[in-house]
Structure 1
Amino acid sequence: MTQAKVCGLSTHPTIEAAVANGASHLGFVFFPPSPRAVGFDQASDLCRAIPGHVARVGVFVDPDDALIERAIGAAGLTVLQLHKTAPARVAHLRQSTGLETWAAVAVKTHGDVAQASAYDGAASAILFDAKTPDDAALPGGMGVRFDWSLLNGHRHTMPWGLSGGLDAGNVGEAIRRTGAPLVDASSGLETAPGIKNVDKITAFLQSVAAS
């Protein structure tokens, strides 16, 4: 069965909807420019009631050690998701924290997909995400989708997931076309930037389960 991550959560009702409908991973953004960012106290409160079988993913953009340590301590993170982070840095954080560590690879071309190989031995998994415009303030969470056919024929050398513009309406097709073992959605489950919608979360997870 395909695993599903709901990212950018910031309220108890949306977390409850994600857990009740079978999300395997819940994502919490520790990047202040994002409308989905949470503070340490907020993350601690939100994560306290999450059952142990659901992974708590911290989402970071090239973070320093202090940020990682505070986020892990506050939220009890079990996974680190790292954007715009060099392979050596990913390897360091994986070793220093002992946590599962995902390297997000921004995709627009075949060459971008090939960059995933740089993380062999450094990351625990790869998250193929859509590349945002160069002048964009955020590296993800903007509803941008990449051409899934770019993954055709790619030899995956480690666990991986698919992100970028996914929602209830297209996730089934995404899973069928790519065979993704994990799918990740954020902006497609919102009514406005940073405002998750319980019904959209529920529909997304039901679509994943039906695929």
Structure 2
Amino acid sequence: HAVTDVSPPPSVHLGGDEGPRTDGEASAAARPRAPAEGLAGPAALHGWFMRTVSAHLTSLGRRPLGWTETGTELPAAFTVLPWRDPEHGRGAALRGHDVIMAPFRSTYLDYPQSADPGEPRGQDGVLDLRGVYDNDPAPAHWEPEAAGRVLGTQAQLWTEYARTPAELEYLAFPRLCALAETAWSAHRDWPAFLHRLDRHRTRLAALGVRSRSPHTVPAP
């Protein structure tokens, strides 16, 4: 109850997708708990726990949110965030989940923005501005019932590698501008976006936002 007492929004994010399933095998507490709950073994405790907490939150009038690696592993009450493959979001939507699209190839802003050696250290790989702009929360080939379940999209900026507020701003902008357009506009026009972004950079600069210039990289 502590989280719901201090957090007024209707949704509560549970996370939990990367919890090692093998830990239960080595736990003296988990091994007897599994048969006590009628489960096949400790590996099934993760699903049992998510179902139990989901039911508790639902009884309090809240909506559980959780990451999904496959689109199939969370109880029906969850709003899911598929992060591996956009098609996992489609599968989850067809199963009846509401979906917030968060595929890492287009929404994880902790990836470097280019392969330039001066980029801040980050995950292996590159996610440039066009890669973020090409994010499509509800692709045209999806069934209407699947697209209708998509609540939107969101950016992730994990901070394992980010050392300073300046680096965080640099990683976020202007890629966050591209994600905002893909989230809020059904019309896509890459050249027109670049033209508007050129003007918007003036606003970012006036606000003191340390964004990535199209021609430079930050000092190492």
Query: Is TM (by shorter chain) over 0.5?
Result: no
Specify which structure has the higher proportion of strand: 1
Higher relative contact order (CA 8 A, sep 6+): 1
User: What's the TM-score bracket when you normalise by the shorter of the two chains?
Assistant: 0.3 to 0.5
TM-score (norm 2): 0.40
TM-score between both structures, scaled by the size of structure 1: 0.41
